[in-house]
Amino acid sequence: MNDYEYDELTDNTLLAVEEALDQQELDLDYESHGGLLSITFPDQSKIIINKQPPLQQLWVATKFNGHHFEWREQQWIDNRTGIEFWTLLTDVASKQAGSPLVLGPQQTGPK
């Protein structure tokens, strides 16, 4: 993947996360700027998702731990645990929110 494809892919992924958050009944605050998306939960804990262009990765920091995702087979996969991005995000966001959230996958791959 070249740098342009990486930027397009990660920008689309961050936008898809924002759109998924907007669909939730729970009022979650989020702020996006410069390749970084910060989600704030009612207990003031955060999930931070940010681009890592030199490594062509997407990093996710939660109150529990951090994850480094690489684009493999048309999806973001955590290079340590093997978990898929949306699965992890749904799980940790639900835990931090204290109620079930469903954050679904979007079509974010290169065309």
pLDDT of residue 5 exceeding 90: yes
- For the chain, the domains span 3-97
Residue 87 has pLDDT above 90, yes or no: yes
Q: What is the dihedral of CA 81, 87, 90, 96, to 10 degrees?
A: -10
Q: Give residue 105's pLDDT.
A: 58
3-97 sits in which CATH class?
alpha beta
What is the pLDDT at residue 28?
87
What is residue 109's predicted lDDT score, i.e. its pLDDT? Answer: 43
Q: What is the pTM of this model?
A: 0.86
Nearest partner of 51 among 15, 83, 84, 22, judged by Cα: 15
Write the pLDDT tens digit of every residue in 21-74.
988 888 889 999 989 999 999 899 999 999 999 999 999 999 999 999 999 999
